[in-house]
Chains A and B, each alone.
Chain A
Amino acid sequence: MRALRRSASLRVTLAIAAGIILISLSAMGLQYQLTARALAARQAELLETDLDAFAANYQQRRIPALRQAVAFRSQTMLPDEAIYLLQDRAGVKLAGNIGGWPLGITPEGDRFEPAPVLDYRLPLGPGGTEIAYRGIARELPGGFRFLTARAETPREVTLAGLRAVILPVAAGLVVLALLAGWLTSRWVLARIGRINRLADRVAGGDLSARLPGDRPGDEFGLLETHVHAMLDRIEALNRATQRLSDLIAHELRTPLNRILQKIRTLEAPGPQKAALEAEIHATTRTFNALLDISSAEAAGGARPGLVPVDLAALAGELCELYQPLAEDRGMTLAAHLPETAMVLGERNLIAQVLTNLLDNAIKFCAPGDAITLTLAPADDRHLMVVEDTGPGLPEEIRAEVTRLFVRAPRDRQVPGHGLGLALVQAVATRHGARLSLPATGEGFRIEISWPGLS
């Protein structure tokens, strides 16, 4: 059942096969019915002709003529084809091709009328086999009893022959129908599969992926053309957004640069000029962080641009970079790293994540605090944990601290813009990594689970 729900191919195959089988079997059934009915009608006609003839004889000279006719028929017909019998009121056989009145048959009906008809079986076949008969039994005026019936054998033989043919034909049909269903579904679904694979590649980040070859003019070709048109549109929009952020960068940074160059020529005290310069650099940094976040978000989950990066080596390098700083401020920075931990990533972005986390840790911790960076394999992932014994995260901002510009009110005095963890989140998403900020009794703890490179 699950396979049926999961596979459209299987469903289409079975539906087509069932349809073909149903139609064919109905056609064969109808044919059988018609044949059976035609044969029955033919038998009835023969019986009626006989009855008409007997009626004519009886009309002329009553019993003697009937007796003559029955005797004549009995000579030419064998009992396995038709039976005849005429008895007198004492039950003595006057003419006929069977021995006596069959048991269990009561005469009914009027003289030589075609109805009512009786169906019964008599052991008159070769070797005493039973034969089905259809005919009449009547009591004529004067107590004479008259019986005639036609064997159903020809009809039954024909129908049995038909049935014998229908079974293997039906079996063959089932096989052919399944084959036809399978071929059809394969053909249809192969066309859909092409489009699905294209969608996978696009979802994987390759916006410029297209189907090779010509588009046929049918509905599938039309679907492919539509999908291509949509992809062209998405690509164009994406390029436009990229161009826009480049333009914004250019149009804002170029004047900022002019201001920065002019500050040097101002007649103002050095510290004032330095403060202005620092302001401009801080603005640029915010600006860079925002662009980094948005571009990491835009590329989220996409593979192009990612290369194998050794998380362990990179974490080691950055710990080494921050170690002396932590030491100078009276904190300990310890790293527990495996030999290697390969991921598919952008070294520069992962370095920014580590820098932001270590920067934060050192910024918020006080002398005596301990900062720990741990990297450990967890199934097919690498779990990176940065924790410290500092003031931790205020509970009220835990849920939204990875959003843009979210900062704790208590940290107003600490420099920063509330973009650090937002960038960490964006970079994690870019790499298909999962980020969590578990509630801790004390201190800060962040866990990032990076998908490993097998």
Chain B
Amino acid sequence: MPSNPPAPRILIVEDDDAAARAVAAAARDLGALPTRVDSYEAGLAAASTGDHAVIVFDRMLPGGDGIEAIARLRATGSTALVLIVSALGRAANKIEGLERGADDYLAKPFDPDELRARLRALLRRAAMAATDSDLVAFGALEIRIKARTVHVGALHVPVSPKEFELISYFARNAGEIVTRMQLLENVWNLHFDPQTNVVDVHVGRLRRKLEQAAGRAVIHTERGEGYVFDPSRSDP
């Protein structure tokens, strides 16, 4: 990270104390400054006055639905990323939320790790200017977006189209924990939880290919949480 940027601010609009505490804890873990309000109107007011990187909105709030707030936020010119955290947690609810402008949607009950991973990804997106660069390089590991190829040095790593999408998503979140649910949602566009961990097998195959080519681990497993793509880190 260049110089010391000010800590990003996160607005939490949530009427349930336990959920609000969990979100605030996750935000502080990530070095962000959480502010909490507990009603729809207060949420809208706070959102329009403060400069927030991420707004975490509940849906069934006293006074309104967080989904309805997104359009009103955008109308005021706010560019804050919106994470909906709601008990309306069926796949259909998630899809509705995403279609209506939410940047991410997390169902209650949520794992604190899952929440942290989602918040982290959003903070990263908020901090990062959109890069159009075709070449994404991590040392010797090079990903060419347009050509859809992966190289380690001069060595070409053959990947399937899905594996390429997988590695691209990992690369966008390099160094951060990425959960299985995030991968299912972003790479496979599936918003429900299959009973078997199909994702693990895919990540395992990609990991073996990269490890063979690079001679070291590129994708690391965080037990119980997810995966970290970090070509510079060496596993103990």
Interface residues of A (CB under 8 A from B): 246-247, 249-250, 252-254, 256-262, 264, 274, 277, 280-281, 284-285, 288, 291-292, 295, 317, 320-322, 324-325, 328, 346, 348-349, 351-352, 355, 359, 362-363, 415-416
**13 more A-B residue pairs beyond the given contacts A254-B87, A257-B19, with a C-beta to C-beta distance below 8 A:** A252-B87, A260-B109, A285-B193, A292-B90, A321-B188, A322-B198, A325-B196, A328-B201, A351-B190, A355-B192, A359-B195, A362-B196, A363-B195
Asked if A292 and B91 sit within 8 Å, CB to CB, the answer is: yes
Cβ-based interface call for B191 (8 A): yes
Chain B residues, CB < 8 A from A252: 87
Is B202 an interface residue when CB atoms closer than 8 A count as contact? yes
Give Cα A258 to B108, complex, Å: 9
Assembled-state Cα–Cα distance A292/B193 (Å): 13
CB < 8 Å neighbour of A288 from B90, B110, B190, B201: B90
- Tell me whether A288 and B22 are in contact (CB under 8 A): no
Nearest opposing residue in chain A for B18, CB measure? A258
- Residues of A contacting B89 with CB < 8 Å? 249, 253, 284, 288
Q: A328-B201, A355-B192 are in contact. Are A256 and B224 (CB under 8 A)?
A: no
B62 proximal to A (CB < 8 A): no
A-B contact pairs, 23 of them (CB 8 A): A249-B89, A253-B107, A257-B19, A257-B22, A257-B87, A258-B19, A260-B109, A261-B112, A264-B112, A284-B109, A285-B193, A288-B91, A320-B160, A321-B162, A324-B198, A324-B201, A325-B201, A348-B95, A348-B190, A352-B91, A355-B190, A359-B194, A363-B195
Closest A residue to B25 by CB, please name it.
A261
Measured CA separation A320–B190 after assembly (Å) = 13
The majority secondary structure among interface residues of chain B is: loop
Contacts of A264 in B (CB 8 A): 112
**Inter-chain contact B18/A321, CB cutoff 8 Å:** no
Cβ of A363: which chain B residues have Cβ within 8 Å of it? 195-196
Number of interface residues of B (CB under 8 A): 35
Chain B's closest residue to A259 (CB) is B109
Kindly supply a per-residue 1/0 record for chain B positions 175-211, scoring 1 wherever the CB is within 8 Å of any chain A CB and 0 otherwise. 0000000000000101111111010011011000000
Query: Which residues on B are within 8 Å of A, measured CB to CB?
Result: 16, 18-19, 21-22, 60, 87-92, 95, 107-112, 160, 162, 188, 190-196, 198, 201-202, 204-205, 224
Bound-complex Cα distance A320 to B202 (A): 10
Shortest distance from the beta carbon of B27 to any chain A beta carbon, whole Å: 14
Q: How far is the CB of A378 from chain B (nearest CB, A)?
A: 27
User: Most A CB atoms within 10 A — which of B91, B160, B162, B194?
Assistant: B194
CB <8 Å contact, B108 and A257: yes
Of B18, B95, B160, which one neighbours A261 at CB under 8 angstroms? B18
Set of chain A residues within 8 Å of B224, measured between Cβ atoms:
274
Alpha-carbon distance A277/B195, docked complex (angstroms) = 15
Contact (A324, B19) CB under 8 Å given A284-B89, A351-B190: no
Contacts of B110 in A (CB 8 A): 257, 260
Complex partner residue of B109 from A280, A321, A322, A362, CB under 8 angstroms? A280
- The reply to whether B205 and A324 contact each other, CB–CB distance below 8 Å, is yes
